[in-house]
Amino acid sequence: MAVSTYGEALHRVQEEIFDAALLDLMMPAEAYMLGTEAQAEHLGREIGIGYPMVFAMALCGIKRIAVITDGNHHQHPVVATMDWFHGKSFMVNEAKVIFLYARLTEDMTKNFGQALENLFR
């Protein structure tokens, strides 16, 4: 199942059971997290939400979590931090967590299939 916002993802994992979560490192900021003044500056801007989402998903009992980006680590500081974790797996609240750079597929979407393969190895 795919969701388009991290708010929706947080809502769904509290109501349903999932074997894995595939998270994009960078997603647009959502209104429910921001005060009125902050919305004017940040609403819709990409933020590095993938990192805190790992903890939220693990706390909800998901046992396999991948954070994925197709970003260029030379062009964004949050994407550059993926170099610290790329290719390694970690345990967070009994969940296997991996961080991956994903090439875009022919239809210009991230290769989440490769992430799933890595999660279930």
Domain assignment of residue 96, yes or no: yes
Task: Give the Cα separation of 66 and 31 in Å (integer).
Answer: 25
With 0-12 CB in 10 A as exposed, 13-18 as middle and 19+ as buried, what is 106? Answer: exposed
* Overall average pLDDT of the 27-35 stretch: 88
Domain assignment of residue 3, yes or no: no
Task: Judge whether residue 70 has pLDDT over 80.
Answer: yes
Q: Which residue type is seen at 14? A: Q
Task: Give the Cα separation of 100 and 97 in Å (integer).
Answer: 10
Instruction: Identify the H or E element spanning 23.
Output: strand 21-24
What's the whole-model pTM score? 0.88
Domain assignment of residue 80, yes or no: yes
Enclosing domain of residue 60: 18-26+49-120
Domain assignment of residue 91, yes or no: yes
Domain count of the fold of the chain: 1
Domain assignment of residue 31, yes or no: no
Domain assignment of residue 22, yes or no: yes
> What is the percentage of the chain residues whose pLDDT exceeds 90?
57
Domain assignment of residue 87, yes or no: yes
- pLDDT grade for 32, boundaries at 50, 70 and 90: confident
Domain assignment of residue 75, yes or no: yes
50-59 and 6-13 helices cross at what angle (nearest 10)?
10
